[in-house]
Amino acid sequence: MDNNKILLIDDEEVVLEAMHNHLRRDGYKVYSANNGKDGLDIYYHISPILIILDLKMPVMDGFDFLKHVNLADSEQCAVIVLTGHGIDEDIEQCFALGISAFLRKPFNIYELKGLVRNTIALKLNQQGRLNEIAERKRAEETIAHNYHIQNVISTILKNSLEPISLSEQLKISLKLILSLSWLSFKSKGSIFLVDDDCETLTMKAQSGLNPKLLELCAKVPFGTCLCGKAASTKKIVFSAHVDEGHEIHYKHMQPHGHYCTPIISKDKVLGVINLYVKKGHQREKTEEEFLLSVANTLAGIIERKKAEEALRNREMDLENSLSKLRKTVGGIIQAVALTVEAKDPYTAGHQRRVADLARAIANEMGLPMDQIDGIRMAGAIHDLGKISLPSEILSKPGKINKIEFNLIKLHSQVGYDILKTIDFPWPVAQIVYQHHERLDGSGYPLGLTEKDILTESRILSVADVVEAMASHRPYRPTLGIEKALQEIERNRGKYYDPTVVDACLKLFKEKQYKLE
């Protein structure tokens, strides 16, 4: 719809020419027709914002024209009806068909021009409101979808801490992945793990697969069929239908497509997630982002489960077991951190640098080593909740709008919702929840004040601000470490804990600490 195009339809040449000339002088792009049929052809071609329509015309009158355009449903444009013969019933019928205004002939041309301006202004205002509503609805849907995704990942992480086998964990995870009905995955799929020979995939979990396929795909060599190619290339392999790359067949196989997603840890392939889509499905970025998040989560779980099995098999003593499990928790933390960084390349390494700085500040303050470990762990995943945000917002250059900022502010809550179900040795969930709180109560999401904010969160908030200001962002270049230190010193005691600020300043100014 062009905000400057007007279509005139009238069989009176004098009236048509007068309207055309006056409105064109007012800056509008004006198109004319002598009957409804010709006008309909022009309408579909130009998509005007306003139609000025005569009712009584040959070939096709105004009533038939309105029925073809169907304004009540499409709301394509505004219509002003003109007639010298209209009765009240005609007027009522026109408004029932969706017109915006009615003007009787003969009319003053300036009366028409004023009506044109007002009608277009009202239409633009209405369209603006509709666009705002649509944008709000899309934002709400995005939040809802991302929240559902986080629930799936949170549940997978929670189940990983239960005393169940890895195979059972994979079966539960597959069921959760397929539970998101608004995604395009069909209700069947499988998860493979890599054998000890590192050259073969073995199916460990499946849902809804044909018995013949279970036999054929029990073991798949690297490079064979779609799953084998995903393992050998370490990339998602997508197919919209059964093509030449789909090497494993059986009689009466139904048409379908695939997402085959490798599960990777430290550049080592651990397995493949194989999901089905309908034939002809188009590859979607949001679906791939979800699958990569799940794959990264499963990578940490698989590593931990294998470590636990190795510990049990070797009958290690309790001290060594606890040490190994602590390292495994660190592995999970790293896998989750990589999930966030994989989605937002501009802030890759941000969480690690914040964790390192927070640990250094805590050490400078003389906190116990166990508490320092908790701060480091929380710092490594403090932005976990950002995996719920669309990539377009995370990497958007320039200023973000109010709706986008409100979405970003949700990341503390989402991170907390994921982590609260995990029984860490430290209050990791609460530390992450509070890392944007400020001493004067101006922070978010809870508006906590000094006495209610954890010491760990006060440390993390200072480290987060310093690293963020000193690093490049898609919406601005780096501000430099000096600006960052001026910010925390200027707001010492207002936003930031004085003891934490003093320790941070001492690190940079006296001990030459540098952000790696």
Task: Give pLDDT, residue 318.
Answer: 54
The answer regarding whether domain 2-107 maps to CATH 3.40.50.2300 reads yes
In tens, the pLDDT along 113-133 reads 888 988 888 888 887 787 787
Task: Give pLDDT, residue 409.
Answer: 86
Instruction: Give, as one character, the DSSP assignment of residue 387.
Output: G
Residues in contact with 189: Cβ distance below 8 Å, sequence separation at least 6, in sequence order:
174, 177, 178, 206, 207, 208, 209, 273, 274, 275, 276
- The structure tokens listed for 361 are 């500040």
Task: Give pLDDT, residue 458.
Answer: 97
CA distance 76 to 82: 19
Task: Give pLDDT, residue 453.
Answer: 96
- What pTM does this model have? 0.44
CA distance 293 to 295: 5
Is the bond preceding 262 in cis, omega lying within 30 degrees of 0? no
In the chain, what are the domain boundaries?
A: 2-107, 150-341
Q: Residue 472's Cα: distance from chain center in Å?
A: 22
Task: Give pLDDT, residue 320.
Answer: 61
Instruction: Give, as one character, the DSSP assignment of residue 145.
Output: H
Q: Can you list the residues of the chain whose pLDDT is less than 50?
A: none
CATH number of 150-341: 3.30.450.40
In tens, the pLDDT along 255-291 reads 898 999 999 988 999 999 999 998 888 888 888 888 8
Long-range contacts made by residues 387-393, C-beta under 8 angstroms, separation at least 24? 387/146, 387/149, 387/150, 387/153, 387/293, 387/339, 387/340, 387/343, 387/414, 388/143, 388/146, 388/147, 388/149, 388/150, 388/414, 389/146, 389/343, 390/142, 390/146, 391/285, 391/289, 391/343, 391/344
In tens, the pLDDT along 290-322 reads 889 899 989 988 988 888 777 777 658 555 655
Asked if 87 and 56 touch (Cβ cutoff 8 Å), the reply is: no
Task: Give pLDDT, residue 274.
Answer: 94
CA distance 411 to 340: 11
CA distance 311 to 324: 8
Instruction: Give, as one character, the DSSP assignment of residue 222.
Output: T
CA distance 365 to 500: 7
Asked if 23 and 9 touch (Cβ cutoff 8 Å), the reply is: no
CA distance 46 to 31: 9
CA distance 380 to 358: 10
CA distance 35 to 63: 11
Task: Give pLDDT, residue 251.
Answer: 82
3-state secondary structure of 220: strand
3-state secondary structure of 342: helix
Task: Give pLDDT, residue 249.
Answer: 82
CA distance 84 to 227: 73
b/e burial code for range 212-250 (CB count within 10 A of at least 16 → b): ebeeebeebebebbbbbbbbbeeebbbbeebeeeeeeee
Asked if 491 and 466 touch (Cβ cutoff 8 Å), the reply is: no
